[in-house]
Chain A
Amino acid sequence: MDKSDLIMLLLPVFLIQLILMATALTYLYRASSVRGKKWVWVLVIIFVNIIGPILFFAFGRKEN
């Protein structure tokens, strides 16, 4: 198990995290209004991995 093998194994993890983050940020950017402040959500989505985007999709979006 050398470094390059490990990187190949971890790459999908980072990619999926990135997809999750990018999706959440896209939806945040497009939303006309969200619960709370937008910049707070940006921080949550970027710095709380996995759970941050979930929280945004669950509680951040206003249904209208």
Chain B
Amino acid sequence: MSGFGILLHKEWREAVRSAKLIWLPAVFLLLGIIQPLTAKFMPDILASAGNLPEGTVIQIPVPTPGEVMAQTLSQFGTMGLLAVCLAFMGTIAGEKRNGTADWILVKPVSPLAYVTSKWVMLCLIIAFSFGLGFGGAWYYTNLLIGIPISGDVLFSAFLYYIWLVFIGTITIASSALLRSPAAAAFVAFAGAIALQLVRGLFENELSWLPSGLDAAAMSRLTTGISPSWLGAAIVTGICIPALLWVAAKGAGIRKKG
């Protein structure tokens, strides 16, 4: 496995060189901090926005700590997901384009090891970014709103992390199959949104879709229960290796000429 270590090291240097290690955590941290602030000061924000008739009384129920954390997750589910897709879109498509992939794969390195090294680095970077962001949200919720139930927060973080890694894995796979990084990002992001939509429409029949993880994480925070998370986790656990295998096949296909 010495080759794998070298590949991992290369991915690490690539992450540092492309500043992913700075901007992805920063984006998650910003999203995570801003949401509790918004929840806390929403009445003030509305009042200062003006254009309300004189004497308007705004009654907004203060959300529970769990609800604020769930709102943070829904922020991660749009902006955060988009950031993940953009961060990893070029991971194979870009390297195919500039010849790095060919240069690596002519050496006795299996395409699977090449793809897996990328995947391991993705898991680490997402863990760091999401952990920082969700931790920031937790801290600010404690300060401003109240103290959420720790067990629920940790469990939903675990579920949501798997969901993020799954979307990252889709990004790697589409990056291996498509020529353009932008197309890869689009496919992964659109796929994530579509999965969430479909699951929302057929809640009872399709709770086992990977997007069930994201829904279960949120309901755990708002209601304290996370229905049918296990099915979604098992399906996702099967999908991730399958996607990596597809990505390895895609990465192994050489450019003509």
Contacts and interface: CB of A to CB of B under 8 A. Distances in A.
Contacts of A13: 30, 33-34, 37
B18 A54 contact: no
A13 B98 CA distance: 37
B27 A50 contact: yes
Contacts of A20: 22-23, 26-27, 30
Given A12-B33, A13-B37, A54-B83, A63 B90 contact: yes
B13 interface: no
Contacts of A64: 98
B149 interface: no
Interface of A: 9-10, 12-13, 16-17, 19-20, 23-24, 27, 50, 53-54, 57-59, 61, 63-64
B86 interface: yes
Contacts of A61: 18
- DSSP class of A's interface residues: helix, strand, loop or mixed? helix
Interface of B: 18-20, 22-23, 26-27, 29-30, 33-34, 37, 79, 83, 86-87, 89-90, 94, 97-98, 136, 140, 143-144, 182, 185
Contacts of B26: 16, 19-20, 23
Contacts of B29: 16
A17 B90 contact: no
A9 B40 CA distance: 12
Most buried by A among B23, B33, B83: B23
Given A57-B18, A57-B19, 9 more contacts: A12-B33, A16-B29, A19-B22, A20-B30, A24-B19, A54-B27, A54-B83, A57-B23, A58-B185
